[in-house]
Amino acid sequence: MSKFDLNKHTARLLLSEPFFASISRRIDKTASTAVPTAGVRLNKSTGYFEMLYNPEFFEGLPDVQKLGVLKHEFYHLILQHTTTRNPDPDGKVSKAWNVATDLSINSHLIGELPETGCIPSQKDSPFEDYPVGLSAEAYLKMIKDDPQFQPDKGDGDPSDGDGEMQGQGGGLPDTLDDHGDWTDGDGDDADANAVARERLRDMLDKASKEANQRGSWGSVSSEVRQEIQKFLNPSIDWRKMLRYFIKSSRKANKRSTIRRLNKRYPRIHSGHKVTRVANIAISIDQSGSVSDYMLAQFFSELNELSKLATFTVVPFDTEVDESKVFVWKKGQNRDWERVLSGGTCFDAPTRYVNQNNFDGHIVLTDMCAPKPIPSKCQRMWITDESGKAQQYFDTNEIVLAIKDAPRG
């Protein structure tokens, strides 16, 4: 395998593209011969996006095309093609949809890519009569209505197998990159994709702010910027985020039980059964900067969360008083209470959670404190809109915003 390392070239390639440079810094790029060119996907085990690239393919490209392929992959993330945007009625990520997404993206990259058949208005291509600058959804409709891609008589459904539409002009051309790990956003993927969209929202928010601070978005068009702004300002279904977080943090623990004996050696070994346990810590910021209203709001949301799981509540300000830590059992309802009122230090609850081997950590806070020490388990932050906008530190961890509460 080629020794070409894309990570050593991205900073140089993206010097004039501050928005894409910010996206690039937040995505792992891994060399792989499993893809012929490149591809982006959601790694479901980590909840993070990653880019796979074939080093031999990249090594042979001139710089302008290396940059074009990078931007092509990042556009798939920016426009949410990799997760939940597939509009096909059958829910399947079809080849028609794959081609439509490439047509939409490549409208912004004409003259910047290696040879590909998926460029609108390109002479002597199947898409010569397709206009430039449409959305993936609009291109998908054109493809499905295009006679050259309709099935021949007797061929049955226009989407066979992987969804390739057949016709007198042959099948749809291959896409530039690999879309094999994209998901349709339904079933088991729904919660994972919902969390990924929040992580993507945070990534795009940071990249937008960096581009604005630089006074340049590089080659990002005004149409794409409008799409980004629409994505950055929705209502957040953060309860779905919490549900996924808890599910993804569960681990199987074995415990002895006399109800299920070991059938092979019933008199020697006790039986065991596997139980699924969500060992989650919820740290509640009780510092003086958190208003009573916000604190009451946090408790209200935890009453909702208690319908899903049992969890441990860790009140904190600059310290954790272990005498005030308690287990909130599933199905319980509690009134809010203030037990502390000092300053804020996120190291205190993180250290407590690390020492007590929790599987996941959710911090409810106004975000008014310096960056904490690393967490040994998955960590997520919940604040209000003001807290997210004014947070004291940058993080790749999920930060969810609920409706603004009056500040105390």
> pLDDT category, 92, cuts 50, 70, 90?
low
Mean pLDDT is lowest, of 216-230, 242-256, 308-322, 367-381, for 242-256
And the tokens for 316?
């904190």
Looking up residue 297, the CATH number of its domain turns out to be: 3.40.50
- Asked if residue 1 belongs to a domain, the reply is no
- 8 Å CB contact between 51 and 27: yes
pLDDT number for residue 155: 45
Among 232, 251, 277, the domain-final residue is: 232
And the tokens for 308?
């899903």
pLDDT number for residue 275: 45
- Model pLDDT for residues 388-398, shown as the tens digit of each residue: 878 888 888 88
pLDDT number for residue 25: 93
**d(C-alpha 295, C-alpha 317), whole Å:** 13
- Asked if residue 141 belongs to a domain, the reply is yes
Of the candidates 251, 246, 286, the one whose C-alpha atom is nearest the C-alpha of residue 380 is: 246
Among 206, 232, 258, the domain-final residue is: 232
Q: Are residues 304 and 217 in the same domain?
A: no
- Model pLDDT for residues 233-262, shown as the tens digit of each residue: 665 565 666 666 666 665 434 444 444 444
- Asked if residue 165 belongs to a domain, the reply is yes
- Asked if residue 58 belongs to a domain, the reply is yes
Mean pLDDT is lowest, of 49-53, 172-176, 314-318, 321-325, for 172-176
Q: Are residues 266 and 163 in the same domain?
A: no
Contacts with 355 (C-beta within 8 Å, 6 or more apart), sequence order: none
And the tokens for 320?
């954790």
pLDDT number for residue 395: 86
Q: Are residues 152 and 256 in the same domain?
A: no
Apex 165 CA angle, 41 and 187, nearest 5: 40
Average pLDDT over residues 123-145: 89
Owner of token pair 């959305």:
135
Q: 247: part of which helix (H) or strand (E)? A: helix 238-249
pLDDT number for residue 387: 83
pLDDT number for residue 337: 87
Average pLDDT over residues 166-181: 65
Q: Are residues 242 and 213 in the same domain?
A: no
Q: Are residues 158 and 30 in the same domain?
A: yes
Owner of token pair 């809010």:
336
pLDDT number for residue 68: 95
Torsion, Cα of 145, 149, 155, 158 (10° steps): -50
- Model pLDDT for residues 278-315, shown as the tens digit of each residue: 688 999 999 999 988 788 888 888 887 888 788 999 99
Q: Are residues 167 and 260 in the same domain?
A: no
Q: How many helices (H) and strands (E) does the chain have?
A: 12, 11
- Asked if residue 408 belongs to a domain, the reply is no
Q: Are residues 178 and 310 in the same domain?
A: no
Q: Are residues 202 and 272 in the same domain?
A: no
Of the candidates 67, 388, 51, the one whose C-alpha atom is nearest the C-alpha of residue 219 is: 67
pLDDT number for residue 232: 79
Rounded percentage of the chain residues whose pLDDT exceeds 90: 37
Whether residue 345 is predicted with pLDDT greater than 80 in this model: the reply is yes
Q: Are residues 345 and 377 in the same domain?
A: yes
pLDDT number for residue 55: 94
Q: Are residues 196 and 58 in the same domain?
A: yes
Report, in this order, helix, strand and coil percent for the chain, each rounded to 5.
35, 15, 50
And the tokens for 360?
């996941």
Average pLDDT over residues 80-99: 70
Average pLDDT over residues 128-149: 90
Domain that holds residue 335: 238-402
Apex 228 CA angle, 225 and 229, nearest 5: 90
38-43: strand order across its sheet = 28-31, 48-53, 38-43
Q: Are residues 132 and 248 in the same domain?
A: no
Domain count, the chain: 2
Whether residue 84 is predicted with pLDDT greater than 60 in this model: the reply is no
- Asked if residue 407 belongs to a domain, the reply is no
Of the candidates 162, 144, 142, 166, the one whose C-alpha atom is nearest the C-alpha of residue 153 is: 166
Of residues 261 and 73, more confidence is placed in 73
Cα 4 to Cα 8, 296, 317, distances in angstroms: 9, 54, 49
Q: Are residues 186 and 273 in the same domain?
A: no
Instruction: Confirm whether pTM is higher than 0.75.
Output: no
Among 187, 212, 232, the domain-final residue is: 232
Residue 255, strand partner residues: 273
Whether residue 123 is predicted with pLDDT greater than 60 in this model: the reply is yes
Q: What is the DSSP string of 306-330?
A: TTT--EEEEEESSS--GGG-EEE-T
- 8 Å CB contact between 250 and 277: yes
> pLDDT category, 406, cuts 50, 70, 90?
very low
Whether residue 365 is predicted with pLDDT greater than 70 in this model: the reply is yes
The CB-side HSE value for 350 (13 A sphere, CA atoms) comes to 16
Q: What's the mean per-residue pLDDT of the chain?
A: 80
Mean pLDDT is lowest, of 113-117, 143-147, 205-209, 252-256, for 252-256
Of residues 264 and 298, more confidence is placed in 298
- Model pLDDT for residues 18-45, shown as the tens digit of each residue: 999 999 999 999 999 999 999 998 877 7
pLDDT number for residue 159: 42
